[in-house]
Amino acid sequence: MTESANQRVQITLHQQQDYAFRIDFGGPVPALLADEPPPLGQSQGPSPVQLLAAAVGNCLSDSLLFALRKFKQSPEPLRTEVGAEVGRNAEGRLRVLRIEADLHLGRTAAEFERLDRVLASFEAYCTVTQSIAQGIPVETRVWDAAGLRLK
């Protein structure tokens, strides 16, 4: 979401035990333990698929929040639910087949101004989701606090 020149993000993974890896992000960001679920790992942390789903949901939430705040709108509290469907591809290998994200606004649609404009554009600014969507279908839905589907 930044507007500067190309940037490089560097992380380091350190194997802890079997499929558990400590992910170091550098700087002040705390490390994170990731692990595969059984039978490979012990679920000591989020799996790579969960991290991917979290990255999509976090980026979409950030983009929606940024777009709404640009118009002086306050959608808090936001809640985002992301599902990643994992299945076998034509070669029989496990792959993420699709991702669905449901973003829930903390207020009703009637309480927002320019909401249609925000909903039409916020996804285009989501770096992670737009990158992933080039290879994995991503469906994004937005709901208001009353349960009305807005997108």
- CATH number of this structure's domain 48-143: 3.30.300.20
- What pLDDT, on a 0 to 100 scale, did the predictor assign at position 4? 62
Q: Give how far the C-alpha of residue 13 lies from the chain's centroid of Cα atoms, to the nearest Å.
A: 21
- What pLDDT, on a 0 to 100 scale, did the predictor assign at position 41? 95
112/92 Cα distance (integer angstroms): 47
% of the chain surpassing 70 pLDDT: 97
CB atoms within 10 A of CB 144: 19
- What pLDDT, on a 0 to 100 scale, did the predictor assign at position 5? 81
- What pLDDT, on a 0 to 100 scale, did the predictor assign at position 3? 59
**Domain limits, the chain:** 1-46, 48-143
What stretches in the chain show pLDDT beneath 70?
Answer: 1-4
- DSSP-derived letter for residue 34 is E
- Do 33 and 16 form a contact (C-beta atoms < 8 A)? yes
pTM: 0.90
